[in-house]
Amino acid sequence: MIRLNVNGVVHQVDAEPDTPLLWVIREQIGLTGSKFGCGVGQCGACSVHVDGEVMRSCQMAVSDLKPEQKIVTIEGLSPDGLSHPLQKAWVALDVPQCGYCQSGQIMAAAALVARTPKPTDDQIVTEMSNICRCGTYNRIKAAIKQATGAAG
């Protein structure tokens, strides 16, 4: 049994130690907001926070996580799923197209703005390395700036 703290709830899961965190979250804990896109750390669709850092959960074995580490998924970003400033900005600017990458994008952006409350364009483009196959990059950038009150 592996103990994981996800969105403030402690879960006991019966998973093989090398199972990626992503699949435990999706299949065993039942939170499907974190997506599978590549499984090799390239796309970022699986992005979650571990102790506040954005991590590609397809690249983390559950056995590498300690029970006290705080994992936050898109479902736990805000209590109502609406009120995080980034979520509001995402809605206001109609950022998503298909939406498949957007959980990961928002989690990556949330980690960025937690560390850098008013990121510059340069900081945004260097930190935001997730793939959006639909090409919503410019609206993502605009939404991060809107949410953080940054100019432009």
Partner 1 sequence: MTDTLAVSRRGFLAGSAATAAAAGGFTFGFHVPRAEAATTPGSPEINAWVVVRPDETVVIRIARIDMGQGTLTGLAQLVAEELECDWARVTTEYPTPGQNLARNRVWGNFQTAGSQGIRQSQEYVRKGGAAARMMLVEAAAREWGVPAASCTVSKGVITHAASGRSTTYGKMADAAAKITPPTDVPLKDPSTWTLAGKPLPRLDTVDKTNGKKVFGIDVTMPGMLNAAIRDCPVLGGKVKSFDAAAVTGMKGVKKVVKVGETGVAVIADTWWRAKTALDALPVEWDLGANAAISHQQVVAMLKEGLEAKEAFVGNQAGDADGAIAGAARKVEATYHFPHQHHVTLEPQTATAKWTADRCEVWCPTQNGEAALATAAAAAGIPVQQCEVYRIDPGGGFGRRATSHDYVRQAVLIAKEMPGTPVKLIWSREEDMLHGWLHPITMAKMSAGLDANGNVVGFRMRISGQSILAGVNPAGLQNGRDPILFQGLNPSGTEGTFGYDIPNVLVDHAMRNPPVNPGFWRGVCNNQNAYYLECFMDEVAQAAGQDPYQFRRKMLQGKSPKHLAVLDAVADGIGWSRPAPAGVFRGIAQHMGYGSYVAAAAEVSVNAAGVLKIHRIVAATDCGHAVNPQQIAAQVEGSFAYGLSAFLYGEMTLAAGKVEQENLDTYQIIRMDEFPAVETRVVTSGGFWGGVGEPTIFVAAPAVANAIFAATGKRVRDLPLKHNDLRRA
Q: Least distance to ligand FES from the beta carbon of 44, Å?
A: 5
- Judge contact between 34 and 74, C-beta under 8 A: yes
DSSP state of 16: -
Residue type, 93: L
46 binds, among partner 1, ligand FES, none (CB under 5 to 8 A by kind): ligand FES
148 binds, among partner 1, ligand FES, none (CB under 5 to 8 A by kind): none
- Distance from CA of residue 67 to its chain's centroid? 20
> Which CB, 117 or 140, lies closer to ligand FES?
140
- Distance from CA of residue 23 to its chain's centroid? 14
DSSP state of 41: S
Q: Least distance to ligand FES from the beta carbon of 52, Å?
A: 19
Q: Least distance to partner 1 from the beta carbon of 86, Å?
A: 8
